Structure 1
Amino acid sequence: MKEPDIITTDQLITEIIECAKRIRRQLGPGFLEKVYKNAMVVELRKLKLNFETEKLIQVLYDGIVVGEYRTDIIVEGKLILELKATQDLSIANEVQLVNYLTSTQIDDGLLINFGADKLQFKRKYRIYRKL
C-alpha cells in the first residue's frame, strides 16, 4: 500500500473495492448496512487509511443551516463511501451520494451495495465527467 498522502483516488477506489469483495465473501448478503459499515472500518484500519464515519455535513443558505446529512465514510478526505444493503441500487441512492459530494466539495464518491445478489459498485462525481 502506498503512503496515504500520495495515494491517488483511483488507487484508493481499487483498494476499497478489494475490501468490499473480502467483506462480501466473508459475510455474504443479508445483514443490515451497519454491519457492512463496521466491517469496512475494520478493513480501512488494516490498510492504515485515514477516515471519518458519520460525519455531519451542514448546508448553509445565507448563513443559516437549511439541510444536514451524515456521510457513511469519508476516506483520506477525498472519497465518500456510501454503503447500502438493498436489493438493488436506485437513482435515489445515487442522488444521495451526489448531494454529499456537492455539500463537502469532495469530487469522488463510491456507492457500494452489499445486499444485491452480486456486489454492486457505482462511482459518482461531484462534477459531471464524460467517461
Structure 2
Amino acid sequence: MDRDDLAGRVIGAAIAVHKHLGPGLLESAYETCLAIELRHLGIPFERQKILPITYRDEDINDAYRIDFVINNELILELKAVETLMPIHTAQTLTYLRLANIKTALLINFNVPLLRDGIKRLSL
C-alpha cells in the first residue's frame, strides 16, 4: 500500500474514533481507542515509539516518544487542544527528521469536525 493510501486509512480510523467519542476528552483516550481501531483494520503500528537522540556523543534513549509510527512510513502525532499551535507543527517536523520518515499526520481531536483538525506534514 502506498503512503497516500495508508494516510487515508489512518485518517478514516481517526474519524471513526472521533465520531464515536466526540471532542473534549484527553489525548490518551483517543490514542488508546485509535490503537484499537488500527489493530481492527489490520494496519501495522508502533505506539509510543521511543525516539533516541545523541547529544555531545552521548545517547539519550528516552528523549522523545512518538504517539504512533504506522507501518514504518508514517508518523501520527495526536493532540487534544483548543488550537494547533506552531510548536505542534515544529515538534512533528522534528520527529520526521529524527526518525528519517517523510510524512506525518498531526491530528487534533478537540474539534467539532475532525477534518478541521488534521494537518499533513512532509519533509
For the criterion TM > 0.5, the same-fold answer is: yes
Listed as ranges, the matches of 1:13-92 within 5 Å are 13-65=7-59, 68-92=63-87
Counterpart position of 1:107:
102
Q: In the aligned structure 1, how far is the partner of 2:50 from the partner of 2:8? A: 26
When you count helix as a share of all residues, which structure comes out higher? 2
Q: Is the 8 A contact 2:22 2:112 kept in 1?
A: no
- After TM superposition, the score normalised by the length of structure 2 is 0.91
Q: In the aligned structure 2, how far is the partner of 1:74 from the partner of 1:100? A: 10
Deviates more, 1:12-21 or 1:59-68: 59-68
Q: Does 1:116 align with 2:111?
A: yes
Measured on the aligned residues, the alpha-carbon RMSD in Å equals 1.4
Structure 2 regions of 5+ residues with no counterpart?
A: none
User: How many Å apart are 1:62 and its aligned residue?
Assistant: 4.9
When you count strand as a share of all residues, which structure comes out higher? 2
Structure 1: 4+ residue segments shifted above 3 A: none
Q: Secondary structure at the match of 1:68?
A: strand
Letter in 2 for 1:111: L
Q: Does 1:8 align with 2:5?
A: no
Q: In the aligned structure 2, how far is the partner of 1:32 from the partner of 1:61? A: 32
Deviates more, 1:34-43 or 1:60-69: 60-69
Aligned residues: 120
Q: In the aligned structure 2, how far is the partner of 1:9 from the partner of 1:81? A: 13
